[in-house]
Every structure is written in C-alpha cells, then in structure tokens.
Amino acid sequence: RCAELQVQLSEAVATLAGQKELVAKLEHDLSTIQALSAVHRPDAEGAATPSLEKIPEPIKEATALFYGHPASPGTSFPEEQMDSLLSIISSQRERFRAKNQELEGENRMLQHTVHALQSELDNLRADNIKLYEKIKFLQSYPGRGSSRDDTEQRYSSQYEERLDPFSSFSRKERQRKYLSLSPWDKATLSMGRLILSNKTARTVAFFYTLLLHCLVFLVLYKTAWSESVGRDCAAFCAKKYADHLHEFHK
C-alpha cells in the first residue's frame, strides 16, 4: 500500500508541476497582450457565430496545450473551450483588478502618512526653534557656558532669521507694495513670475515674442512697399499724361 501511494504521489507531483508550467506560460502570454479589447468578445444573444480570427496566438497556443492537442492556424475551437478560456481571462483580470485596488489603497495610505509626517516635521522644527530660544535665554545669565553643539548651530541660523528685523521689514514692505499695485500690474507681475520660473514657459515666450516681431516687421514692410508702388505708379501716370498733353494738345 505504501509503494502504491508513493507512485500516486509521484504522478500527482508531476501533474502539478505540468499544470504550474502551463499556468505560468498562460500568465506570461496574457501579460504580453496590450489590452483586453484585442480579444474578440462574444456578440449578443441571437447574433451570428463569431469568428475566432481575432484571438491572439499566445491564447490559442495556451488553449491548445491546456486541452492537449496542437492548434493549426485555421482551427476553430469548440464553445466549451472558448468558455473555459474566457473564464481564465476573467479570473486573471479580477486578480489584476484586486491587486490594483490593493496597491491604490496602499498608495493612499502612504500619501496620508507622508502628509502626517510632513506636518509633524514642521511642528518639530518650530518646537526646536522655541527650545533654542529658551536655551539662548538661559545662556544669557552670567556664569552660564556658551559652548554650542551641532544641533544648536543648526537651529541658531533659523532663529536669527526669524528675529532679523531687516528681513521682516523687507517682507512687510514687499507685501504692502504688492497690495498697493493695480490689478493689471498684479497680473503682469504674476505672469512674469510664471514665465521666469519655468523653462518651458520661457522658451514659449521667447519664440512667441520673436514671431510677433517678425510678423510686425513683415506687415510694415508690405505696407511701405505698397505705398511706394502706389507713389511710383501715380508719378508714372502723371508723367505719361503730361507727355500726352504736350504731344497732342500743345
């Protein structure tokens, strides 16, 4: 009985290995398909029998291996095989959809975590600056050491920047000046900042300005040429008329 069970076990393991290879090959072939729209879908009930010419070759090959017979280029598969093939594709699509939903959920969670960590980092930076302010207040008493470590050096610049009256006054003056501008000046300033802060916008603005200048020059040249031609024609006609009067009507 033990020997018989060992033989059955070896046969089952071999069958399982073969099925795993077929499943792996089928998934690889399905991954090479650009979209599921490339697979011919069955028509509505009552429609004519659909042709199988639009089924991709990897699916035909995988179906042929699955049912144990080779597939020729013009072979049409039975309806049972097509239903089984569509069920395999549908299950594969559902697995991809579930995986996609899971990854989207993880992405949303990671974004929420990043926002929370960023806000916490900003709060910690503000708390550290306040702590440095207290440390500096305690160091102002006589008898206190004035030694500094790297942490204090890092936050001292931020603390001094907050207390700098010139930078604060400059920010207030810029804000007051901006609020006193007219709407078109604000629009011009915003447009200038937008153009100068983006490489693509700078390139587009440069070529747009060049095109406008070329168009203006061409229009002015055409206008000047037309007026010159008109003056020349008028002078020529006047000369011809004077010659005619002098010759025939002395």
pLDDT of residue 220: 93
pTM to 2 decimals? 0.30
Higher per-residue confidence, 200 vs 134: 200
CB 94 within 8 A of CB 51: no
CB 80 within 8 A of CB 43: no
Contacts of residue 138, defined as CB under 8 A and 6 or more positions apart, other chains included, come to: 144
Residue 128 to residue 148: CA distance in whole angstroms: 15
pLDDT of residue 37: 43
- Mean of all residue pLDDT scores within the chain: 77
Out of 42-46, 76-80, 125-129, 130-134, which region has the weakest mean confidence (pLDDT)?
42-46
Domain borders along the chain are: 183-249
CB 139 within 8 A of CB 110: no
C-alpha distance from residue 69 to each of 62, 80, 133 (Å) = 10, 15, 82
pLDDT of residue 34: 43
Tokens, residue 124: 């910690």
Q: What is the mean pLDDT of residues 44-66?
A: 52
Contacts of residue 89, defined as CB under 8 A and 6 or more positions apart, other chains included, come to: 30, 36, 39, 59
Cβ-based neighbour number of residue 23 at 10 Å: 13
Q: What is the mean pLDDT of residues 59-85?
A: 58
CB 135 within 8 A of CB 129: no
Out of 55-64, 128-137, 189-198, which region has the weakest mean confidence (pLDDT)?
55-64
Higher per-residue confidence, 194 vs 68: 194
Residue 131: exposure state from Cβ atoms within 10 A (0-12, 13-18, ≥19): middle
pLDDT of residue 221: 92
pLDDT grade for 208, boundaries at 50, 70 and 90: very high
Cβ-based neighbour number of residue 66 at 10 Å: 17
CB-facing half-sphere around the CA of 31: CA atoms within 13 A: 8
Max mean pLDDT among 22-26, 101-105, 129-133, 174-178 falls in 101-105
Going by C-alpha positions, the residue among 148, 143, 118 that lies closest to residue 132 is 148
Residue 62 to residue 68: CA distance in whole angstroms: 10
CB 52 within 8 A of CB 40: yes
Higher per-residue confidence, 77 vs 22: 22
C-alpha distance from residue 98 to each of 30, 103, 104, 110 (Å) = 17, 9, 10, 18
Percent of the chain residues past pLDDT 70, beyond the cut: 68
pLDDT of residue 131: 80
Higher per-residue confidence, 146 vs 179: 179
